[in-house]
Amino acid sequence: MVSGSPDQQRIVITGIGLTSPLGNTLADLRAGLLAGRSGVEPYEIRYVGKTLAGVCRFEETRFQSRKDVRRGTRAGCIAVYCSNDAILDAGLPWSDLDKSRVGVYIGLTEHGNVETENEVYELSQYDHDIKFWSHHHNPRTVANNPAGEVTINLGITGPHYTIGAACAAGNAGLIQGAQMLRLGEVDYALAGGVSESIRTFGIFASFKSQGALASHEDPTKASRPFDKARNGIVVAEGGCMYLLERYSDARARGAKIYGELVGYAMNSDATDFVLPNPERQAECMEKAIRTAGLTPDQIDIVSTHATGTSGGDVQEAQALRRVFRENERTLYNNSKSFFGHAMGAAGALELAGNLPSFADGACHATLNLTDPEPECDLPRMVRDTPREGVRVDTILNNSFGMLGINSSVVIKRV
């Protein structure tokens, strides 16, 4: 356990690297959110055909060779890209650091589906003769792959692993990084979440068979959480990695600080495979706020999880009303309305999009919320245009996932 000054137990964000359907920098993401620009577009994938998705476009070979990209995975490629950018953004003297004191903690919804589906398809073109099966299959599909690819790329010899936490994974990666810093196991943590989900037809097919895949003649209007006309999820890919360190270290090196992770919580519904439990979600939020030493009326912005499904949005709205009641201070917004659901990356990306509010005093809006579902109506939901001139000191970021896994983190202005 780290001892000494309380500042050594304070964990702050000093670097952010990301790729999203709205761009590949925090500035791009924030500009898209404030401008009300959708990142959803037409998309076509094997067997499913024409659908919609949030697609990332980044320079894959910026930090990797073409050989490394071919040998590795899409999730690993995203993780490498975002991790390198987080380090650059943090201004770390990377060549001088003890790499055994750096940890990598990446949240995932799933991993290996993309590569396995592609390999099975390729095998079918050769009459299923297994001599054509890729010898890269095992290292590509082991669960720790994306984090492992980051350590190989950056020469990190500290601990690495992935956290399988469904759509709560982005927050889970952040929480794990903070815990390892507080335990003194590492001095720097690369933490966040990644998702390659649009590359697998299985996710689209499963949501479609479930009746939960969004459709709309105008792609930009397909993702509409909390709206009466919502009809499902828009699948998106993406990634966001944070550089976390102790406040004492960040202050000593004069680092810029995006915010401090002051509270977090994770719990389980223990009730259903898919349908959320609003009571457990409320308990998760309440615990995160309590561990931050705050009360609900001290939260300025809640970044909601809502995905656009008929049941899930209602359940989260119930949980929010249970926690925040008639609070006249807290604002709500939703990022999935802009670019869809980035699965394991969702929580990390959505938090990143809200962090600049500490500096610019704006709360970005929720797109496509033209006719709120009565059961989802939240009076202080920011709609249509950003709320400007807001003093933002605290953000609560919610991410909930299948099998009833819930996560909430609280970030505070420093």
Task: Measure the CA–CA gap between 109 and 286, rounded to whole angstroms.
Answer: 24
Task: Measure the CA–CA gap between 337 and 369, rounded to whole angstroms.
Answer: 8
**In the block, residue with structure tokens 């490629």:** 77
pLDDT of residue 326: 84
Task: Measure the CA–CA gap between 209 and 204, rounded to whole angstroms.
Answer: 9
206 contact partners, CB below 8 Å, separation of at least 6:
none
pLDDT of residue 6: 81
Percent of the chain with pLDDT over 70: 99
Is 229 a residue whose pLDDT tops 70? yes
pLDDT of residue 5: 57
Is 164 a residue whose pLDDT tops 90? yes
- Mean pLDDT of all residues belonging to the chain: 96
Is 2 a residue whose pLDDT tops 50? no
Is 1 a residue whose pLDDT tops 50? no
Count of beta carbons in the 10 Å neighbourhood of residue 66: 9
Mean per-residue pLDDT, 390-408 = 97
Burial of 173 (0-12, 13-18, 19+ CB in 10 A): buried
pTM for this structure? 0.97
pLDDT by residue (tens digit) across 183-218?
A: 999 999 999 999 999 999 999 999 999 999 999 999
pLDDT of residue 245: 98
pLDDT by residue (tens digit) across 315-326?
A: 999 999 999 998
Task: Measure the CA–CA gap between 197 and 404, rounded to whole angstroms.
Answer: 20
Domains and CATH numbers, the chain: 11-252 (3.40.47.10), 262-412 (3.40.47.10)
Mean per-residue pLDDT, 117-143 = 95
280 contacts 168 by C-beta, under 8 angstroms: no
Which residues share a beta bridge with 147? none
Confidence of residue 8 (pLDDT cuts 50, 70, 90): confident
pLDDT of residue 7: 78
244 contact partners, CB below 8 Å, separation of at least 6:
11, 12, 13, 14, 174, 177, 178, 181, 188, 189, 190, 191, 261
Give the long-range contacts of residues 23-31, CB within 8 A, separation 24 or more.
Answer: 24/56, 24/57, 24/58, 24/81, 25/85, 26/89, 26/352, 26/355, 26/356, 29/349, 29/352, 29/353, 30/353, 30/356, 30/360, 30/364
